[in-house]
Amino acid sequence: MADNRGVVYLGTGKVEVQPIAYPKMQDPRGRKIEHGVILRVVSTNICGSDQHMVRGRTTAQVGLVLGHEITGEVIEKGSDVEHLQIGDLVSVPFNVACGRCRSCKEQHTGVCLTVNPARAGGAYGYVDMGDWTGGQAEYVLVPYADFNLLKLPNRDKAMEKIRDLTCLSDILPTGYHGAVTAGVGPGSSVYVAGAGPVGLAAAASARLLGAAVVIVGDVNPTRLAHAKAQGFEIADLSQDTPLHEQIANLLGEPEVDCAVDAVGFEARGHGHAGAQQEAPATVLNSLMQITRVAGKIGIPGLYVTEDPGAHDAAAKLGSLSIRFGLGWAKSHSLHTGQTPVMKYNRQLMQAIMWDRINIAEVVGVQVISLDQAPQGYGEFDAGVPKKFVIDPHGLFSAA
């Protein structure tokens, strides 16, 4: 049986590439399955969601194999897999979903009811998401393969666009979902909090959806410079000028039509002093302030039910000091949760193949080897304007 290697979480701030088991056709509960495939991993990306775990801000256990953003080639399939063939190139939605439960039938694949005994929602290589082995590895198992996988059309053409297509497993659908749930349409003015890969993907999605103007805010000037170079307006929240004033300086009014939180619970405060420390409700409160009445706020940024590293007792349980009354008074709609990737990935694949969106360039894709993964984690954590994509078999350079 072939060997396997993967990126393993070893405690706060520490990941290492280690030998791991080659995938078996069985679920994490040890039941044999026939609906799965084993993939040779073609690309697998490091995500801000991984960093929450690696920074010790979740209850992730040491020994977890990381990686939920996976593109791969089918090399083995169970007898119940009908629509995929050996050799197919596929994009893996980060959600593990059964395709059979009420949530899946209603397209809410981010909260599948059967793949995780502890709560709704499954993912690869993620705390509290059902113990599915992560894909920052050479090989990985994907269950319910016919339902979950998106087959990439032409192999050669797909490999030409692989730096873009690798974003289909999470950040592009997630950014798009953020923009859609914020109500972005032709002519919208949009504010996106966070200039990380998800924020930039939301900004690019807003552009695709026809937004008139997209402002990206962050406390990290290097990431803002990158966002500016990609053609977005920026708000520098490490400065003392309040967000609504920065928006007014750009738009002539202190509000936008649509807002997206692409930051989550590790948000920093605003202003010179504020940006030095964490203030988990900052983004949500500021978005209610700057979104017009009856506007929508898309919240792909991740919030947790347990945060052992939080500063106060309430935040340790995910309770934040949110000025909900303001959102209520303004008739805001708020949309939260894991992205149901499958709802969008096919259309976004088409947008990539027909050059409607240059997502790799917008998010700053940088390809690294599996052995360079720990370094990638370190640089990403330091806030470089890059999206690290691991190429475990050296297939990018071959393409």
Ligand X SMILES: NC(=O)c1ccc[n+]([C@@H]2O[C@H](COP(=O)([O-])OP(=O)(O)OC[C@H]3O[C@@H](n4cnc5c(N)ncnc54)[C@H](O)[C@@H]3O)[C@@H](O)[C@H]2O)c1
Binding site for ligand X (CB under 6 A): 47-49, 51-52, 170, 174, 193-199, 217-220, 223, 237, 262-264, 267-268, 270, 282-283, 300-302, 338-339, 383
Q: Which is nearer to ligand X, 23 or 135 (CB)?
A: 135
Q: Which is nearer to ligand X, 185 or 337 (CB)?
A: 337
Task: Judge residue 331's burial from the number of C-beta atoms within 10 Å of its C-beta, 0-12 exposed, 13-18 middle, 19 or more buried.
Answer: exposed
112 is a site residue for Zn ion (CB under 5 A): yes
Residues 6+ apart with CB under 8 A from 223: 195, 196, 383, 385
C-alpha–C-alpha distance, residues 200 and 293, integer Å: 25
272-275: long-range contacts, CB 8 A cutoff, minimum separation 24 = 272/238, 272/239, 272/240, 275/219, 275/237, 275/238
Q: Which is nearer to ligand X, 25 or 235 (CB)?
A: 235
Query: Minimal distance in Å, beta carbon 77 to ligand X?
Result: 27
Q: Which does 73 bind (CB under 5 to 8 A by kind): Zn ion, ligand X, none?
A: none
Which of 38, 42, 47, 158 binds Zn ion (CB under 5 A)? It is 47
Q: Which does 104 bind (CB under 5 to 8 A by kind): ligand X, Zn ion, none?
A: Zn ion
Q: Which does 220 bind (CB under 5 to 8 A by kind): Zn ion, ligand X, none?
A: ligand X
Q: Which is nearer to ligand X, 27 or 266 (CB)?
A: 266
Cα–chain center distance at 128: 16
101 is a site residue for Zn ion (CB under 5 A): yes
Q: Which does 112 bind (CB under 5 to 8 A by kind): Zn ion, ligand X, none?
A: Zn ion
Task: Judge residue 31's burial from the number of C-beta atoms within 10 Å of its C-beta, 0-12 exposed, 13-18 middle, 19 or more buried.
Answer: exposed
170 is a site residue for Zn ion (CB under 5 A): yes
Residue 227 structure tokens: 């966002």
SS3 266: coil
Query: Minimal distance in Å, beta carbon 188 to Zn ion?
Result: 25
Query: Minimal distance in Å, beta carbon 113 to Zn ion?
Result: 5
Query: Minimal distance in Å, beta carbon 57 to Zn ion?
Result: 15
Alpha helices, DSSP H only, in 9-133?
A: 48-54, 102-105
- Which residue is associated with the tokens 């793949």? 115
Phi-psi domain of 213 (left: phi exceeds 0; alpha: psi -120 through 50; beta: other): beta
Q: Which residues bind Zn ion (CB under 5 A)?
A: 47, 49, 69, 97-98, 101, 104, 112, 170
